[in-house]
Chains A and B, each alone.
Chain A
Amino acid sequence: MEMAAGHHPIVMEKSPYGIPPGKLAMWCFVISDAVTFSAVLFAYGYLRVGSPDWIAPFQFFPTIVNGLVMTFVLLTSGLTMLAAVEAAKQGRTAAGTRWLWATCALGALFAVLHLLEWRRMLEEGWRLFQNPTGGSVHFGAAFFSVTGLHLLHVIGGVIALAIIAIGFARGKYNRIDVEITGIYWHFVDLVWMFVFPLVYLMNAK
């Protein structure tokens, strides 16, 4: 038990998890979002199993190579995020801010690479329910849904990282806020660890 500061002391019970409420809220969000991604990946699996005419369309170059570069960029952004959290823990605000911006830049690069790939696919004739290779029309729906949901999370994360970087540099946000953003960013990283093998590699020619 601890006493809160003020004119009338209030008895506060310690958290059973030993973490701030914001961090617990982020963990709850991450678990519920993991369920959402699981459902989308299950739907992709359902469509794939239920479509005997499914064709694996991805060539090693450019699609798989681009996917590998995107994986490298996103995993590296996880490392820069860890550096930001470590710097914030040690009270090195300038270094923490620099690492946050580095993470933000890598996230933006990932989004650009993803959008360029979408553009190339759209130019080839891929649509939500159109398959230029003549295989299952569900491929486009599955691919754009799974990668689109992940891309939305990346773009949201880049915006959040920019806001936290600015606020952290100005002293508005503290190390806990950086850590909470880090949990979200690593989750985005973690989801890609399933998207890349299941959606890209399983569809390699």
Chain B
Amino acid sequence: MNSTAPAEGPGMKFFVAVWIGLMAIVGVEVFLTYRHLPPRELLVLLLALAFVEAGIALWYFMHLKFERAALVWSLVPAFIFVVFMMDHFWPDAFRMASMKLLER
């Protein structure tokens, strides 16, 4: 990330290496899926890997690393705040599940 002016990217060789890294992460995701872990554990691991992949794509493929810091600070915190606020709905989902189990 540049604090003043946008910079140029690192070139195709680097991007090919990033692409190989992303494919490797997808491979790890499939490997973890067939370890038959408990769903909650698998969800945490898959989400963590997805965030790493998304971060890499955002930083290098979408060239956010090479833009001014002002752009990152204008966009990313607002998005994180909105997604964080969406988490308020989970207790209602658990209420739905417990009500359906009681009906049985």
Contact = CB atoms under 8 A, between A and B. Distances in A.
Interface string B53-68: 1100110011100011
Q: Please classify the interface of chain B as helix (H, G, I), strand (E, B), loop, or mixed, using the class held by over half of its residues.
A: helix
A198 B53 CA distance: 14
Nearest to B74: A17
A83 B18 CA distance: 13
A68 B42 CA distance: 18
A201 B9 contact: no
B75 to A, nearest CB: 5
Contacts of A45: 90, 93
B21 to A, nearest CB: 10
Given A79-B15, A190-B57, A193-B57, A201 B100 contact: no
Contacts of B96: 49-51
Contacts of A27: 71, 75
B8 A89 contact: yes
Interface residues of B, number: 51
A183 B57 CA distance: 10
Contact of A31 (B49, B78, B100): B78
Contacts of B74: 17
Contacts of A85: 9
B11 to A, nearest CB: 7
A34 B81 CA distance: 12
A89 B10 CA distance: 12
Given A27-B75, A202-B42, A186 B100 contact: no
A149 B58 CA distance: 20
Given A190-B57, A190-B58, A17 B67 contact: yes
Contact of A35 (B11, B47, B62, B83): B83
Given A45-B93, A52-B101, A202-B42, A82 B67 contact: no
B53 to A, nearest CB: 4
29 contacts: A16-B70, A17-B68, A17-B74, A18-B6, A24-B71, A30-B62, A31-B75, A38-B83, A42-B86, A45-B93, A50-B92, A50-B96, A50-B100, A64-B30, A64-B33, A75-B26, A79-B15, A82-B12, A86-B9, A183-B62, A187-B62, A190-B54, A190-B57, A193-B54, A194-B54, A198-B43, A198-B46, A201-B46, A204-B33
